[in-house]
Chain A
């Protein structure tokens, strides 16, 4: 069998393509769902302490084969004027922790005084994830009203919004005193990236709909309807993500390599198949039809994304017209299909097609989901015995792409990343218009790669990198990254992170697609709304879904 090569990082790791990312079956929430189905996780809520208006707290317990995790949910009154998507808010409709085990009454009491405060609270190693969510007010209220009348809400309205609540932050890994990731990373169910965070959001999804049912029932105990399970499956959890998430992709090069390497390996495996089986062809056709249906409900006010969606719809129609013919190809039919998209369709459609091609090939690719975590400490060490000559050659080879940017030109240098003193959040400044560039975060990778190459060019070629770094410690980070990039080709985003035209939402979308997000709705060039778990099986019926063969 001829092996088709992985798509090169020079193609994959560019802003435009990152900004066209689609979730795949290797996305983190999909791996969580598969594990929950195969291990037959069950959910109950032993504590349900909410008043007529839906304020109070509830505890959801998930029973796994070897462990229990609990979502502790708090619902509190919120003035309409305080309801904001911004991470800097300080009050929310609902707030949550994922608790390690089952909390007793004293733990719940402690959490009650801290969780609604979020960043201003203080947490312990018993808490694994901290999150909060605001109601999508118009939809939440209309759903409650319909249910209270004994009716089901309008399915079109549910599909158009996609969720009853939006999270504005989901914190893991030691933030505000919660458990460090290394404490739980050895547990099989949490060893993959962001599995604790995804579990939290999946449980929040159940709570948002149970809350709507609860309020409707209290308004009309005799006649209220319960939200139909078919409609529950339509709804996910919204999320608003801003700039803060973007630097993560630069700060975790080795992890990023593993994510992309897994997805690209999966694509290469499918493209290398010598023929297209009947079941796989049907699976592809179903996934294509489902996506075409879904994008009818993909709404955005962003002009660029709106155009991309229109083109995507046309391109998917084109793909549907051609896919039978392409998959009849005598050799490598899936490769023929992919190459067709590369030649004829938009980036948005190309990346959608990657996801569609993986969809019917679970047995071929799902094992790659287990390769998406990484021991990042390996990247701490520098090989200082390397000669400066060899180090320069390595930098010039690995960062050849960085030479396309002219850093003498103001537009290529226009921005700087910094941490704001007021909010302690990452921000993007204008280098030539604002103060603070001297406190720039080390995220201008392309510029610094060129700088490192030039600095090494001034050294004795026979000198060791260790000697060079002793005199020039300021290059240590770039030396480390360069040595890493030589081993992990998808570890760098091969674009200019300080360019005047750089759109942070391209970075956000890429990361969110790895989470499993859909319905990307850019609200500006630096924040985006999405939906998680919309259309996916419900955690409260994962065993039934699994029995019905819904989980793939």
Chain B
């Protein structure tokens, strides 16, 4: 297993999301799976943007893909508000599953973002997607580079 810092995990996730086709504004929040069932990323962002008030009652969603992402985004983007996400007929990694989101004000929750552990194979697969966001070097860009370059004899 390879141990990643949170910063490395976030940077990789953003590139993978961009590489998978999300725009940067969404990719920055770390994500990836546009599909026919409800996209969990865009659903969570809409909830946050629109300021859905769960005190009024729970939010019921049908056919959400990979609903673990709803959990992740609500936690990452709005850590001051506690949510509870229940998967009604599947798990967080189901390709589609119905979801209930309720307010969890006052309940203890883990908001510790820690380092990540990842297998070399998975890391390589993710890096391959991240690689789609990089621009291949041309002779010209190689020459121009970031500046500098000559051997320093001083």
Instruction: Report whether A420 and B134 are in contact in the complex, using a CB–CB cutoff of 8 Å.
Output: yes
When chains A and B are docked, how far (Å) is the Cα of A144 from the Cα of B50?
A: 66
Distance (Å) between the CB of B25 and the closest chain A CB? Answer: 3
B121 proximal to A (CB < 8 A): no
Contacts of B77 in A (CB 8 A): 377, 380-381
Instruction: List residues of B (7-56) whose CB comes within 8 Å of A's CBs.
Output: 7-8, 22-26, 28-29, 42, 45-46, 48-51
Partner of A527, one of B48, B79, B142, B148: B148
Interface size on A, residues (CB 8 A): 74
- Specify which chain B residues have a CB less than 8 angstroms from the CB of A469 in the assembled complex: 45-46, 49
Which residues on A sit within 8 Å (CB–CB) of B89?
none
Which residue from B7, B76, B134 sits with its C-beta under 8 Å from A424? B134
Q: Which of B8, B76, B151 contacts A83 (CB 8 A)?
A: B151
* Residues of chain B within 8 A of A24, CB atoms compared: none
8 Å CB contacts to B: which residues of A66-92? Answer: 80-88
B58-87 near A? 1/0 per residue, CB < 8 Å: 000000000000000000111100000000
Q: Is A239's beta carbon under 8 Å from chain B?
A: no
B108 within 8 A of A: no
Decide if B57 is an interface residue (CB 8 Å cutoff). Answer: no
* Residues from 131 to 152 in A contacting B, C-beta threshold 8 Å: 134, 136-139
A425 at the interface (CB under 8 A from B): yes
Distance in angstroms from A511 CB to nearest chain B CB is: 15
Interface range for B = 35 or more
Report B147 CB to chain A, min CB distance, Å: 3
**Docked-complex contact B4 and A384, CB < 8 angstroms:** no
Say whether B119 faces chain A, with CB atoms less than 8 Å apart: no
Distance between Cα atoms of A437 and B4 in the complex (Å): 30
What per-residue 1/0 map shows which CB atoms of B118-154 lie under 8 Å from chain A?
0000000000000111111110111001111111111
Least distance between B98 CB and chain A CB atoms (Å): 21
Inter-chain contact A429/B135, CB cutoff 8 Å: yes
| Whole-angstrom distance between the Cβ of B143 and the nearest chain A Cβ | 12
- Contact between chains at B148 and A85 (CB < 8 Å): yes
A524 to B46, CA, bound (A): 45
A422 nearest CB neighbor, chain B only: B137
11 contacts between A and B (CB under 8 A): A122-B2, A124-B3, A174-B5, A177-B4, A382-B45, A420-B141, A423-B146, A425-B146, A427-B141, A477-B25, A524-B148
Given A179-B5, A527-B146, 13 more A-B residue pairs with CB atoms under 8 Å apart are A84-B151, A138-B153, A174-B7, A180-B6, A181-B7, A380-B76, A380-B78, A424-B134, A434-B138, A436-B136, A466-B51, A473-B23, A476-B25
